[in-house]
Structure 1
Amino acid sequence: MKNQTTTTSVTTGQMFRFVFGQVLNRRWLLGLNVLALTVISLLEFVIPQYEQYIIDHVIPRRDLGLLTEVVLGLLGTAIALGVLNYLSTYYMGIMSQGAITNLRTELYQYTLRLDTHFFESSKTGDLMVRLTSDISNLQSLISANMLSMIGSIVTFIFVWIYIFIINWQMAVAVTLTFPLMFLIYRVFRTRIHNAFRAARASQAQMSNQMQNTLTQIDLIKSYTNEDLEENRFGAYAQTNKQDMINATQNQAIFSPLIDFVNYLGVAIILALGAYFVIRRQLTVGQLVAYLSYVAMLQGPIRAFTQILNQLQQSLVSYGRVMDILALKPAITNAPNPVNFPAIKQGVTLDHVSFTYPDSDVSENGPVLPAVTDITFTIPFGKTTALVGHSGSGKTTLTRLIDRLYDIDSGTIGFDSVPIKDIRLSSLRKNIAIVSQDVYIIDGSIQDNILYGRENATDDEVWQVAQMADIADFIHSLPDGLATQVGERGVKLSGGQKQRLSIARALLKNAQIVILDEATASLDNESEKAIQHALENLMKARTSLVIAHRLSTIHSADQIIVMDDGHLVEQGTHESLLKANGAYAKLYNAQFS
């Protein structure tokens, strides 16, 4: 899966088909809006007829009664227009919000189901912009103003035919200005599109900087790097400012050019119309009405050109959304997946090799695999320890067992059932991972424990809290389980966070437990206090333990020693010390 650094090539037609595909889920509402807009267009067509009738018939007759009737008719038409515009705008808003909510939810759900590699190679701030601002930009395509273009097109067709009937010479003259408008549009379309695309990219950079700053505030303050981060953000903000200025500059040139062409059309009609009035080939009322109709012709074109920047922003955002939807997860279920088996034998890795996607190519040739030709078994109900230097492939193996990545060659089996045949949800529900990087959600203590099993009872929550040696701490809090832990658990100590994660894993009640250096970030006292909770977690379960401190794995049933992606030794603590190999060197280095 590739990291989305460029925008997918998209067209305006594709964008409208995609967005209005969401609207078609409520076709009756769309049809009602189109009908209302069509009636609005017809009523707008009638209004200049009132003007012409007053000038050509009412005023020459000096008939005040007729004038009253015509004016009342004009006001009635205006009221009908107002009511229809209100209904159209209101129901268009309902349709727009529904469609965009569905689209945002769909994109969010799709993003969550992408592979781990996607999130590791993407920037969080950029993803947030795509899920929020870019989706909001697409909403403008389903706004009342945008959909009114449908009514404007109907109006344009009727009016254009009508002015040809009234006076074909003036109709041809004003029509000649339309290609000039479209020529200007084509010239500036690409410029404005590129300017807004650059602005969206720089906005994503600002978002990334803000996200990184807010999540690493302790590091920034401890190293007094506030000025450094301010300068970085300032540089991104200046880039975004310049990108927006470039877009605004193009728009500032574009709009007056379009206005000039519109005034040119009005000037042509005034000149020709006055000529035909003088020649008595046209009445004054017809000329006034003609000018109104020309304005109605220019209206859709002017509206279309005025929303050019909106369309270009939407097109950029659509391309960024399609970058996400174009990605296909590599980790998927088999055609006929099976549920995770009730483990009785264990987990087997047979000649497993794996290289991370998008790894850097070395100057000397091909990329080295993360793990190569690994073969061993994790026996049922036993504890297997993985040891080795950093970068030796220990964590990679746990990721392969949880199928966050697919192996390149070899097999991983659970009681001889290949990992790729097992339904992903069933596989991961039966594997509990506790790592040194503890993930705490922003909520209560109970919310964090229930993340292991959402439908658990309060008694079950207290039971696992007791087993994780955190129940006494929870009881000491005024709000107990309802205590808010703060974003990323800022109100808890490292040991308390780790106990919460153990309670969560206990509640999950998975068949297999993986401890990925679960106590590496704790001091010796905290580690000893948590060791009992870990023992409760591993009791009667098939366990895989990655250990940084080798003193914690003396009692492991077997120890696997990794080095540079290879399995170099295997045995018990005592047998490996006697062998005086790689494990003995690691052990002696820690205790010398």
Structure 2
Amino acid sequence: MKNASTPVTTSQMFRFVFGQVLNKKWLLALNVFALAIISLLEFVIPQYEQFIIDHVIPRHDIGLLTEVVAGLLGTAVILGILSFVSTYYMGVLSQGAITNLRTDLYRYILRLDTHFFESSKTGDLMVRLTSDIGNLQSLISANMLSMVGSVVTFIFVWIYIFIINWQMAVAVTLTFPLMFLIYRVFRNRLHSAFRAARASQAQMSNQMQNTLTQIDLIKSYTNEGLEEDRFSKYANTNKQDMINATKNQALFSPLIDLVNYLGVAIILALGAYFVIQGQLTVGQLVAYLTYVAMLQGPIRAFTQILNQLQQSLVSYGRVMDIMALTPDITSKPNAVTFPTIKDGVDLQHVSFTYQDDDGHPSAKVPAVHDVSFTIPFGKTTALVGHSGSGKTTITKLIDRLYDLDSGNITFDGQAITDLQIADLRKNIAIVSQDVYLLDGSIEENIRYGREDASTEDIWQAATMADIADFIHGLPDGLKTQIGERGVKLSGGQKQRLSIARALLKNAQIVILDEATASLDNESEKAIQHALENLMQSRTSLVIAHRLSTIHNADQIVVMDDGRLVERGTHESLLKQNGAYAKLYNAQFN
């Protein structure tokens, strides 16, 4: 899976966004109908102006004037009502489409491989899900859709002014290529400027996300000033990028206005000449000026939304960068369900090397190399070794967060790649030293192990995890809010909560990844009973830093530099006086 910039075009962007709109065809049809009537009424209004000037005023007919003005006001009222209908229902259509796009992107991101999240910035992903998707919303706005009606109006009005006076029509038409020339010159400038601004905004978001989630570390090392300087650097970069974009936009709009004024000046000069020559009435000239403004309106509106189009195109490209990715780790079409474990888990000549963002090995030495051992059914297998020896990597391979480079992992003889991924992970419960908790209630965090669990099931899991008494002592019980990342709980309480969650999951295989490494001795002893309840009658793999916790393991596997170097019981390995004995003596002597 490779994350590279995806080439995009404006037509692709509109097809992508309006693909969501087509799900509500009746709303789109209603908007198109309203816009068609609006265009017709806008075409009629100048006719009222011409009629009043050329026919009503010369006749001095107040009654006729009243009728024409009433008709004009009635047309304006209808125009206003239709504009409301178009704007409101286009908003409904827009919000629905954007919500679907954001939900689809969120769903797509969640299904990407673990490697993607390790190589991506959280703040950048948040910008793509919020600001970038938000920028696409402008494409489904009433103003944007009205551009379609404006194009139709432009064509009919252009034909009409040719019929009235072809000389003036040709003269004003000559100004249009100047507008498009200016547009072409500034299009790439604006696109590049807004892409740079979006990238620097993502850097700011990453910095904010990093500091807000690591505030304790920052304060303990009194590095507030350092982080302020970093944020200031990113903020100033974003400021310069936005100033550059604004500068191009500021140059672009006045140039377009200058061309529009040139067109008006041409019409006034030629129109006045034709009025003097008797070839044109004053009313026709006034109406002609209005029609020219109607011609210039779509062009002016188009140029005014150019910067938004460029921002949307940049955002669309960033969204497509994600949507272009395909997960490498997927279930086969004929994948089978997870078996009922009777024999155990077998690792056969397993090798694996982590990859960089381009899919190349990120290290010359594999993280795991030619490792073979069995995790027997209903038994506890301990995995020990120095930091970086490949222990945690093996647990990720068993959970299929990564695919093997070579070798195989089987569950009762069933190859891991032949199993449905979701079913595989439902049957594996992992408790690690890094406890991940939701910003919600205690009940929500335990129930995360099984969404359909009853309250009775939750209390049973809490009791087995030795945390039920603590919960009963809280004023709100299971409804107690634990705060972001469980800040209101102690380390031991967090760990018990994660054990309760794993117990509720009731998986066949349990993996403990240094589950007590960050706890003090007293807390560790208190949690051991909960861990024993979790591992009871289950196939267990325990990664242990403190070797005193695995004396009673049925099997101990010793890793060193990604290789299996020893295997046996605690007593047999001590007698061998090898790698395990050295680790053990280093801790206790």
Structure 2 match to 1:200 = 198
Distance 2:97 2:481 in 1: 35
1:367, CA displacement in angstroms? 2.0
- Residue-by-residue CA offset, 1:79-138 (whole Å, 9 max, x unaligned): 110010010001101100110011111111111111111111100000000001111100
1:434 aligned counterpart, secondary structure = strand
CA distance in 2, matches of 1:496, 1:325: 39
Residue 462 of structure 1: CA displacement? Answer: 1.1
d(CA) in 2 for partners of 1:562, 1:280: 101
Q: Equivalent of 2:24, from 20, 23, 26?
A: 26
Which residue is 2:2 aligned to?
Answer: 2
- Is the Cα–Cα contact under 8 Å of residues 3 and 322 in structure 2 kept in the other structure? no
Q: Is the 8 A contact 1:361 1:367 kept in 2?
A: no
> Residue 463 of structure 2 aligns to a residue in which SS?
helix
Q: C-alpha separation between the residues in 2 aligned to 1:280 and 1:388? A: 101
**2:54 & 2:488 partners in 1: Cα distance?**
81
1:362 Cα offset (Å) = 11
Deviations 1:349-383 (A, max 9, x none): 111111112189999x9722111111111000000
Written as runs of structure 1 = structure 2, the 5 A alignment for 1:405-420 is 405-420=402-417
- The within-5 A match list for 1:275-290 is 275-290=273-288
Q: Distance in 1 between matches of 2:447 and 2:74?
A: 62
Q: Is the 8 A contact 2:347 2:410 kept in 1?
A: yes
- Which residue does the alignment assign to 2:336? 338
Amino acid at match of 1:260: L
Question: Which whole-Å CA distance do the structure 1 matches of 2:98 and 2:528 have between them?
Answer: 49
Q: What residue in structure 2 maps to residue 568 of structure 1?
A: 565
Name the aligned partner's letter for residue 540 of structure 2.
S
1:436 maps to 433
Which whole-Å CA distance do the structure 2 matches of 1:486 and 1:14 have between them? Answer: 43
Q: What residue identity is the alignment partner of 2:264?
A: V
* TM-score (norm. length: structure 1): 0.98
Deviations 1:182-233 (A, max 9, x none): 0000101111111111111111111111111110010011111111111111
1:156 maps to 154
1:122-201 matches, within 5 Å, as 122-201=120-199
Specify the alignment match of 2:56 in structure 1: 58
* Contact 1:88/1:144, CA 8 A, preserved across alignment: yes
Aligned to 2:38: 40
Corresponding residue number in structure 1 for 2:108: 110
* Structure 1 residue 2: Cα displacement: 2.3
1:245 aligns to what SS in structure 2?
helix
Between 296-305 and 462-471, report the one with greater CA deviation: 462-471
One-letter amino acid of the counterpart of residue 159, structure 2: I
1:481 aligns with 478
Q: For 1:245 and 1:35, how far apart are their aligned partners in 2?
A: 40
Sort the Cα spacing of 1:124 and 1:64 in 2 relative to 1 into closer, same or farther, 3 A: same
Task: Provide Cα deviations, 1:223-257, integer angstroms capped at 9, x if missing partner.
Answer: 11111111111111111111111111111110000
For residues 167 and 430 of structure 1, do their structure 2 counterparts lie closer, same or farther at Cα, with a shift above 3 Å needed? same
Name segments (4+ residues, structure 1) moved above 4 Å: 359-363
Deviation at residue 395 of structure 1 after TM alignment: 0.4
Write the distance in 1 (CA, Å) between the matches of 2:205 and 2:488: 26
Q: Which amino acid aligns with 2:170?
A: V
Task: Specify whether residues 488 and 91 from structure 1 end up closer, same or farther in structure 2 by C-alpha distance, changes over 3 A only.
Answer: same
Identity over aligned pairs, percent:
83
In structure 2, what is the equivalent of residue 352 of structure 1?
A: 350
Pick from 463, 468, 472 the counterpart of residue 466 of structure 1: 463
- The CA deviation string for residues 419-463 of structure 1, in whole angstroms up to 9 with x for no partner, is 111111110000000000000100111111101111111111111
Unaligned runs of 5+ in 1: none
Match of 1:501 among 480, 498, 503: 498
Match of 1:329 in 2: 327
Amino acid at match of 2:218: I
Residue matched to 2:536: 539
Q: Work out whether residues 3 and 121 of structure 1, in 8 Å CA contact, stay in contact via their aligned partners in 2.
A: no
For the residue of structure 2 that corresponds to 1:491, the secondary structure is coil
User: Displacement of 1:582 after TM fit?
Assistant: 0.8
Shift of 1:479: 1.0
1:388-421 Cα distance to aligned partner (Å, 9 max, x none): 1111100000000000001111111000011111
The corresponding residue for 1:512 is: 509
Amino acid at match of 1:427: L
Find the aligned partners of 1:101 and 1:362 in 2 and give their Cα distance.
Answer: 36
Letter paired with 2:97: A
Residue 484 of structure 2 corresponds to residue 525 of structure 1? no
| Structure 1 contact 520–549 (Cα < 8 Å) conserved | yes
Residues 1:422 and 2:419 are matched in the alignment: yes
Q: Distance in 2 between matches of 1:368 and 1:181?
A: 60
How many aligned positions are there? 589
- Cα 1:199–1:447 shift into 2, 3 Å: same
| Separation of aligned partners in 1, 2:147 and 2:364 | 55
Q: What secondary structure does 1:386 align onto?
A: strand
Q: Once superposed, what is the RMSD of the aligned Cα atoms?
A: 1.3
Residue type at the aligned position of 2:2:
K
- The counterpart of 1:301, out of the listed 275, 299, 302, is 299
After superposition, the C-alpha distances for 1:292-338 in whole angstroms (9 at most, x for unaligned) are 00000000000000001110111111001111101101110111111
